[in-house]
Amino acid sequence: MSDFVVTLNDKKKNISFSGNSHISIDNNKFEYELISLSVHTYLLKINEQFYEVSVDKTGNGKYSLLIDGRQCETLIRSALQEKVSELLQKQSTVNKKTEIKAPMPGMILKIKKNKNDKIEKGETILILEAMKMENDLRSPRSGVLNEILVNEGNAVEKGAVLFTIE
């Protein structure tokens, strides 16, 4: 089963695929079929209803969809990516210093920034391997990378402070 969180018009939907023809959207189950019409255009059949869907990837998990002539923007993340994003947004801010903590236990694979680097919101600071998946840990805000408290190859526990931003 594949689990995703899709943000569509600022509303989040939990989507799970099971098998080749079943989808669950917020625990409501449907049968579906997806037929490719061209490189970016599909015919989507959900419970006997047909939709023509055009898809353009705009970057970082964002897609522009045209569904039966209606335009919408989406953000698609795996359930794990969504959890990481939520945890990063909840990190504590103390005296203009933001502590970024490990959202899960894992190993630091790569540190992409140096101490005192200026960083922008959403910029990848380091890569954390957890459950055989590489997760980009991104800055929740712009600022200066004040401290890096881990090294590449370090194993970290959930909640360990990884870096701080001022």
**pLDDT tens digits, 130-162:** 888 898 898 888 889 999 999 999 999 999 999
Name the domain boundary from 26, 50, 78: 78
Q: Are residues 74 and 114 in the same domain?
A: no
Query: Is residue 33, in this structure, part of any structural domain at all?
Result: yes
**What's the mean pLDDT in 27-43?**
92
What is the tens place of the pLDDT at every residue in 40-55? 999 999 888 999 999 9
Count how many domains the chain has: 2
Helices marked H in 96-153 — which ranges?
Answer: none
Region 54-70: what's the mean pLDDT? 90
The predicted model gives 72-79 an average pLDDT of 89
Percent with pLDDT over 90 in the chain: 53
Q: Is residue 86 part of a domain?
A: no
Q: Per-residue pLDDT for 93 more than 50? A: no
Asked if residue 133 is part of any domain, the answer here is: yes
Please choose, from the candidates 162, 135, 152, the residue with its C-alpha nearest in 3D space to the C-alpha of residue 77.
Answer: 135
Cα(108)–Cα(77) distance, integer angstroms? 21
Distance CA 99, CA 111 (A): 16
Same domain, 19 and 73: yes
Contact 98, 164 (CB under 8 A): yes
1 pLDDT more than 70: no
The pTM for the full model equals: 0.51
Are residues 101 and 47 both part of a single domain?
A: no
Task: Give the separation between CA 13 and CA 6, rounded to whole angstroms.
Answer: 5
What's the pLDDT at 94?
Answer: 41
Per the domain annotation, does 84 fall within a domain?
Answer: no
Domain housing 99: 91-165
Q: Do 56 and 95 have their domain in common?
A: no
